[in-house]
Amino acid sequence: MQKRILDIVPPREDKEELEERITVKEQEETDIKENIKESHRVKTSFPKISFSKWLLLAPVLTGLGLAVYFLLGEVRVEIWPELSPLSLQAKVSVDKNARTVNFSQKIIPGFIIDVATTVSREFPATGRQTIEKKSEGVIKVYNNSSVSQVLVQNTRFQAPLEKFQPALDKNENPWFKTSERITIPAKSSKDVRAAADGAGEKYNIKPSKFSVPGLAGSPQYTLVYGESFQPFSGGEKKEVSRVVSQDLEKAKESLIQQAKDQSRSFLQVSKVPSDYVLLADALKTETKSAVSSVKEGTVGEKFLYDVTVETSALTFKEEDLKSLAQELMVFQISQGEVIDKESLVIDRSVFSSERDLSKIVVSLGLAANSYKPLEETLLKEGLAGRPLGEAKLFLEKQDGIQKIKIKLWPFWKTSIPKDAKKIKLEVMLTK
């Protein structure tokens, strides 16, 4: 076997050398990415201030602090005055003919608002009635005798008992009576209308033969007879509902009240402005129509009733009442005091009203607080420049003050500013 000789030998890389080359390449790629990120990053740097520069800035910062302390400092003083409760009972008039508030005569203007309301509803009939109808039909009467036969009105014709379903009671007769007098010639026949002796469905019999009980015992009994070719019908006996007077009255009263309630609700929600007052007793309702779909005694389980009412209301402005009430309370306060308007409570109700609602008298129950107003100029002069403790004592010794609260700014200040313009006084009327 000959040996194979290679004149070119392929180079071989050492394994460790190959791994080192791969690591270097990866590091180079990482460095490139980091350089790209650094190129997009905003670099921020702060100037370094040496200790010597801080020493130069210290007087400036101190001066700014003193400026804030002396120039921008202020105080807010909250003062709760002593409150005196007041109450008063009074009567005022609301007049639709008045144009402005009359304080001396205690009159405020009134405004009439009208609204029409129609309501209808179905009601049950509560009356009971028994209906009785007699069955009717036509009987052909035969006369096979040689002489004429006269049958008077209400002649009885009797049907076989088995024709009645259900069976007749002991007090019921199987008879049908003629409605007129008739004469039947010899050897002929004639139709005659007949009605059952009693009421009820059991007399609605099918076609039948009839005998004449009144001819019993005579030769004519077998020669004169009747026959029907159509069923008798119309007989009934039942209890039904009917409309009675109490049903109509209750329906009317119920709908009138419903119409009143709807009118009042509609007035309050849609017709009366939010700044107006509508008292419950300042309403007048007039029934314009009240109509039933049926008359008294009508048979039926239900009936329809329809009512239309017109409601008028005398309203007034809330602000007018408050103005008059405040004026009335002024006469109750001591000299030098004022009314806390926000504390005013007004309890009102209708005392009386005119028939046409042109005027109503309203009873008022008034309650409010009064207090002595602050003398701001004197208080600010007395507070200016005082230390916080002295300021509190100064205010506590003043007449008519119940409680105080002092708020200084900046918070580290311990005395009231000397400048009165920087002293803010605020009256606190809520407890």
In a domain, 146, yes or no: yes
In a domain, 160, yes or no: yes
Size of the chain, expressed as the number of residues it contains: 431
* Contact between 192 and 182 (Cβ < 8 Å): yes
267: confidence class by pLDDT, cuts 50, 70, 90: confident
What is the Cα–Cα distance from 164 to 159, expressed in whole angstroms?
9
Q: For residue 196, what are the domain limits?
A: 129-240
**Count of domains for the chain:** 1
What is the per-residue pLDDT across 111-157, written as a single tens digit (0 to 9) for each? 999 999 999 999 999 999 999 999 999 999 999 999 999 999 999 99
Q: Out of 64-68, 304-308, 368-372, which region has the weakest mean confidence (pLDDT)?
A: 64-68
Radius of gyration in angstroms for the set of CA atoms belonging to the chain, rounded to a whole number: 56
Q: What does the pLDDT read at residue 250?
A: 96
CATH number of the domain that residue 218 is part of? 2.40.30
In a domain, 165, yes or no: yes
Rounded average pLDDT over 419-429: 92
In a domain, 94, yes or no: no
Tell me what the pLDDT averaged over the chain comes to: 86
In a domain, 324, yes or no: no
230: confidence class by pLDDT, cuts 50, 70, 90: very high
What is the per-residue pLDDT across 323-366, written as a single tens digit (0 to 9) for each? 999 999 998 898 889 999 999 999 999 999 998 899 999 999 99
- The yes-or-no verdict on residue 232 having pLDDT over 70 is yes
Rounded average pLDDT over 41-45: 44
In a domain, 169, yes or no: yes
What is the Cα–Cα distance from 192 to 376, expressed in whole angstroms?
118
In a domain, 403, yes or no: no
Report the DSSP pairing between strands 84-95 and 107-109: parallel
DSSP structure string for 116-141: EEEEEEEEE--EEEEEEEEEEEEEEE
In a domain, 378, yes or no: no
What is the per-residue pLDDT across 60-80, written as a single tens digit (0 to 9) for each? 555 545 444 455 579 999 999
